[in-house]
Chain A
Amino acid sequence: MGTRDMMPSFELYQPDTLEAALDLLGRFGEDGWALAGGNDSFDWFKDRVKRPRYVVDLTGIEALKGIRETADGGVEIGALTTLTEIERSDVIRSRFGVLAEAASKVASPQIRNTGTIGGNLCQDARCWYYRYGVHCYRAGGNTCYADTPEGQNREHCLWGADRCVAVSPSDTAPAMVVLDARMVVAGPNGEREVPAEQFFIGPSIDITRMTVLEPGELLTAIRIPPSWAGARFYFEKVADRNVWDFPLVNIAAAMRVNGNVIEDARFAAGAVQCTPRRLTVVEEVVRGQPRSEDLARLAGQSAVRGATPLNYNHFKIPLLQNLVMRAVRDA
């Protein structure tokens, strides 16, 4: 067992420009840590499980804050924008409601007031064994405690197990996937854009990271194209508690409906694999079909094909099935 609740010392840097922050993080490499709202970071620090020598506090960088409408009818959201700002933003509520809804379901009002969209998207796995500080695969060790016959893996994955069975804990990530958002990544070699779906990575790509971000890189903004603006949206999160809880399963959906026919759709689920799971099979099933109870049921059934439960999480199969059904039926 590690220490609990006693933060060690570190050197704190508070740059006010992105360039300065990147310079610092580039210099510190593996010893550096980018800090935004702190809701994820401070837990790690207080338990002394992650012990960076240098912490770069990004919250002084004004350029990374705020929601800007773009000329093409989309929006660009600075990575340091708080979840509360997103939840309350008129433009996001009116055009990309699925994201406002997802943001409003994160944790608690207090956490949403300090928590940033960048932090919510980049947060680390919430597997309780990993958070406990055990030396598992994800922590650089050579075992998984959760994926064993007796492992307590109720919150873990249905798909994509690869030594690690942790899931994506984010509520906003599936919304970003269905909106075809593009993640703006800045690093020593300049800026690049990564589609949301490719931004998140599973253990088969890198078991110690949840995103494509390399040490020294930062998520600076999220660009949401106008393609799904004003679509019919659905977001639902099922958790044990209604506040301050991670999803057992969440679902985000965007649909273009003409008359009663679904012309196109995006579906993504959270907490069922290590990345938000784009449900392309559901999109195939519903595309071009009139909305109906039957279609909703079929869509739900299609969503869970191939799911491989662990010993304590098979409930996620009917739960995901029902959430997809509701998305098609109730959106």
Chain B
Amino acid sequence: MAELLGKDFVPPDVYGKVTGKAKYAEDFRADNMCFCRLLLSPMPHARVRNIDVSEALKMEGVLAVLTADEVPAQPPPAEPILTNEPLFVGAPILAVAAETEQLAQDAIDRIRIDLEELPFTVDPLESLYPGGPDARSEGNVVDNRLGGPPQVKRVKWTAADFAAAGEDKLPMGEPLAEWSYGDVEGNFAKAALVLDETFVTAGMSHHSMEPRSAMAYWQNGKCYVYGSSQSQSFVVPDLANYIGIPVEDLVYVAETCGGGFGSKGTAYPLMSIPAHMSRKLNGRPVMMRISRAEEFYLGYARSGFQGRIKMGFSAEGRLIAVDMYVVQESGATVGFPDWPSSGETVSILYQPEAMRWRGTSVFTNTVPRTAQRGPGHNQTVSITEPLMDKAARALGIDPLEIRRINSPDMNGRIGGERTPVTSCYIREALEKGAQAFNYAERKARSGQRNGSKVRAVAVGQGFHPAGFFGFDGIVRITPEGKLHIHTGVGNLGTYSHTGTARIAAEVLKMSWENCVVERGDTRKHLPWNIGQFGSNTSFTMARTNYVAAMDALAKLKEIAAMDLGGSPDDYDIGDERVFKKDDPSTGLTYAQAAQRAIELGGRFDGHEPPGDVNPMTRASVLALAGTGLIGAARDNLPVTGQPAAFTAGFIEIELDVETGKVEILDYLGVADCGTVIHPKGLATQVKGGAVMGFGMAVLERHIYDPQNGLPGNVGLYQAKPPSYLDVPSVMRADAVDLPDPQSPLGTKGIGEPVMGAGSAALLCAISEALGGHVFNRIPVTPDHIVNVLSGRGQSHRPLQVNTA
């Protein structure tokens, strides 16, 4: 029976956060610290012909200029640290260090930079048209799927491809990737209803409240970096590489992170700039604070889609055929593979009998892209969930029912490989949500008008993978009787560093007061963990902490058997003791056992780390050797299939038909996250994710001026993430709380589908309020709604991107 799982706890870092004592990257200080600022490209694509820094360097207090020629070049299309060929407005060209930030900026104002303008584009389809502009000199499309180096190609579709589609339907030329299964054409032929929809989803910024500031210095041959990242151990190898040093020479501190949403999951080139500048200044500490507007320019964004989906339904509402094509706007650097996730999402959520998916990924001279909460998955459900409603309406089926008809169970399959899932309880989530939301009764009055307002009730679903495997765990029992759980996971703000650490405590039956979570600083000797992204930690690090704790448990029993006789199997644990099953009074306290481990040495106290762990873990175990009983292990637990998480969102709104304004009256999200670890943390994810989804659905988008490549909304007031008054004051969260059989204690991740469900539910409700009008575009803003209600066309063409 779980003592800790499923119960709320106070995360150890929460006091610092509410009192202001917690240190974020820009809060760190070091003696003699100076500042650096960046000169950013004013052009969307250019080549630096000449840089004249003479006037800047003459200014008193200006210390150094760092250019692209002085930092390690990154292989295209990887994002450079600094560049002589800026590929988007805001690309960092050089850095200036000075005694004060203001002085650094004054110096930048005196730098004369000669840029040669190069062709640029902010629209993937323009780049795919014959003779269209390429965002990069190397090519215009990028296969950035994970698992291999990115491949850049020059691909132009034919004029005939475009002509065949007509102006407002997505042309479908040569894809970068495709898969299919089943008899797609045959099933379309026998479908009772076929939808063929062209859609656009807007790119949008992450808007992490903490900008990606960093401070660095060198001391005794080691480089110290204080950064803003949602991950800890996973950042280290790439950051060391950006700086150009071996992993062991990097001290990386990331105690707290003011939000990342995917944009700080891995090391990013920018965070190495203070280290390079500091090296140039003989190790003097350099602080680089990134401002809000700069965060917009170079702080990454979600990719937008131009897409087309053909869906064939049987008369009973079963989705029997899908043909989907997605063109991703990837920014000008490597970007992130949102596009394959589109097909995976459709395939798992609706289990189509036959499906073909095609996609491509096109460079544009816009802000660099990376993963943003549900990358690809959440854009997709924002489009397909309203289309499921459209089909339901056409076939006379209730929207909840058509989801039930098509939703996966434990036998669900993903993608062209038909990969199984480790667990799937979306049906249960729909069921639980429908009851708790009183769906049937509220649905009956959906569409009713009161004055200028129409009520609408809807349901939306989200999906995202929920875990990885094969990483390492370290736990340590000290002679003081404390359990130290060393985690390399990072502090994204979800408190899963502690949530997953509690799994080790659960295994060892430790009272939580005697546990210490070690994290946030390489000097704490942390294991090799994957980053805190991809909704994975509650699966991945549940497993690593489990195997490390199981290793410690085995050692406790071995030591007890050695000292007290019998075999390890004769022993059990409880009350922080290891004792004989048939004589509980005979045993050792954990403190005694830890002391004995130190005396025994070898594998018991870390002097002999396991052979199969990552070198980083090995180094950490060796560093901890002699301080207690060390449990250390690689996660070799079996796994078959893809861990998967789901969310069902239920919403009621009121839409004002005279203003186009939408008010969300009620929202309930029901998560399929396996066994619940931390109810409060989960509720925050379900509600907060939905809020972010509402922003995606009706507020946030990139605007680019196509003539100049200028970004149109660089501040929070222009980019418009949701405010308190744009969301209900009370939102509700619940979970299915059924275990994933391939997670030792049943847990799996949830951070991302919670957003997609919120976005999808809101968009479905808007369509419901408008009598079934489907926009095939996000965000849906009041002007779009007013245009529909007044019988006017939209200002944008269906395939236009980056428009207001």
Q: Which residues of A contact B (CB under 8 A)?
A: 1, 3-9, 47-48, 108, 128-129, 132, 134, 145, 148, 150-155, 236, 238, 240-246, 248, 311-319, 322-323, 325-326
B712: A residues at CB distance < 8 A: 128, 132, 152
CA distance A298 to B661 in the complex (A): 23
CA distance A325 to B795 in the complex (A): 24
Partner of A314, one of B102, B108, B795: B795
A47: B residues at CB distance < 8 A: 293
Let me know if B102 and A9 touch, CB within 8 A: yes
CA distance A150 to B706 in the complex (A): 7
Let me know if A242 and B804 touch, CB within 8 A: no
Let me know if A240 and B781 touch, CB within 8 A: yes
Let me know if B720 and A245 touch, CB within 8 A: yes
Q: Which 3 A-B pairs have the closest CB atoms?
A: A5-B291, A154-B804, A4-B293
Q: List 14 A-B contacts (CB under 8 A).
A: A8-B105, A151-B707, A241-B699, A241-B723, A242-B723, A242-B725, A242-B726, A243-B724, A248-B782, A312-B804, A313-B783, A315-B795, A316-B783, A323-B659
Let me know if A318 and B790 touch, CB within 8 A: yes
Q: Given the known A-B contacts A129-B705, A241-B726, A315-B787, are A1 and B718 also in contact in the complex, defined by CB atoms under 8 Å?
A: no
Let me know if B109 and A48 touch, CB within 8 A: yes
B40: A residues at CB distance < 8 A: 1, 4
Let me know if A314 and B787 touch, CB within 8 A: yes
Let me know if A312 and B725 touch, CB within 8 A: no
CB-nearest residue of chain A to B716: A244
Tell me the B645-680 residues at the A interface (CB within 8 Å): 658-661
The smallest C-beta distance from A328 to any residue of chain B, in angstroms, reads: 12
The smallest C-beta distance from B299 to any residue of chain A, in angstroms, reads: 12
Let me know if B41 and A1 touch, CB within 8 A: yes
B783: A residues at CB distance < 8 A: 154, 248, 313, 315-316, 319
The smallest C-beta distance from A322 to any residue of chain B, in angstroms, reads: 4
Q: Most chain-A Cβ atoms within 10 A of its Cβ — which of B90, B101, B105, B699? A: B105
**B49 at interface by CB-CB < 8 Å:** no
B720: A residues at CB distance < 8 A: 240-241, 245
Let me know if B108 and A3 touch, CB within 8 A: yes
Let me know if A152 and B717 touch, CB within 8 A: no
**B796 at interface by CB-CB < 8 Å:** yes
Let me know if A240 and B782 touch, CB within 8 A: yes
Let me know if A7 and B89 touch, CB within 8 A: no
Let me know if B792 and A1 touch, CB within 8 A: no
B724: A residues at CB distance < 8 A: 243
Q: Given the known A-B contacts A1-B42, A48-B109, A312-B803, are A319 and B660 also in contact in the complex, defined by CB atoms under 8 Å?
A: yes
CA distance A156 to B787 in the complex (A): 16
The smallest C-beta distance from A54 to any residue of chain B, in angstroms, reads: 18
CB-nearest residue of chain B to A300: B658
CB-nearest residue of chain A to B710: A132
B725: A residues at CB distance < 8 A: 241-243
Let me know if B706 and A4 touch, CB within 8 A: no
**B623 at interface by CB-CB < 8 Å:** no
Main secondary structure of the interface of A (DSSP, over half): loop
Partner of A128, one of B90, B294, B706, B718: B718
CA distance A114 to B782 in the complex (A): 29
Partner of B703, one of A152, A318, A326: A152
Let me know if A238 and B803 touch, CB within 8 A: no
CB-nearest residue of chain B to A51: B109
CA distance A8 to B294 in the complex (A): 17
Let me know if A245 and B804 touch, CB within 8 A: no
CB-nearest residue of chain B to A249: B659
**B61 at interface by CB-CB < 8 Å:** no
Partner of B795, one of A3, A240, A312, A319: A312
Let me know if A1 and B89 touch, CB within 8 A: yes
**B786 at interface by CB-CB < 8 Å:** yes
**B714 at interface by CB-CB < 8 Å:** yes
A150: B residues at CB distance < 8 A: 705-707
B102: A residues at CB distance < 8 A: 6-9
CA distance A325 to B658 in the complex (A): 9
CA distance A4 to B711 in the complex (A): 13
**B595 at interface by CB-CB < 8 Å:** no
CB-nearest residue of chain A to B724: A243
**B789 at interface by CB-CB < 8 Å:** yes
Let me know if A155 and B787 touch, CB within 8 A: no
Tell me the B85-99 residues at the A interface (CB within 8 Å): 89-90
A1: B residues at CB distance < 8 A: 40-42, 89-90, 710
B722: A residues at CB distance < 8 A: 241
Q: Given the known A-B contacts A312-B796, A312-B804, A315-B792, are A4 and B291 also in contact in the complex, defined by CB atoms under 8 Å?
A: yes
CB-nearest residue of chain A to B293: A4
Let me know if B726 and A129 touch, CB within 8 A: no
**B708 at interface by CB-CB < 8 Å:** yes
Known: A319-B783, A319-B786. 9 other contacts (CB 8 A): A1-B90, A5-B291, A9-B102, A128-B712, A145-B710, A151-B705, A152-B804, A241-B723, A323-B659
CB-nearest residue of chain B to A151: B705
Let me know if A148 and B707 touch, CB within 8 A: yes
The smallest C-beta distance from A304 to any residue of chain B, in angstroms, reads: 11
B661: A residues at CB distance < 8 A: 238
Partner of B105, one of A6, A245, A314: A6
Let me know if B713 and A154 touch, CB within 8 A: no
Let me know if A314 and B705 touch, CB within 8 A: no
A323: B residues at CB distance < 8 A: 658-659
CB-nearest residue of chain B to A153: B804
A315: B residues at CB distance < 8 A: 660, 782-784, 786-787, 790, 792, 795
The smallest C-beta distance from B26 to any residue of chain A, in angstroms, reads: 13
**B37 at interface by CB-CB < 8 Å:** yes
Let me know if A129 and B803 touch, CB within 8 A: no
Let me know if B660 and A6 touch, CB within 8 A: no
CB-nearest residue of chain B to A322: B658
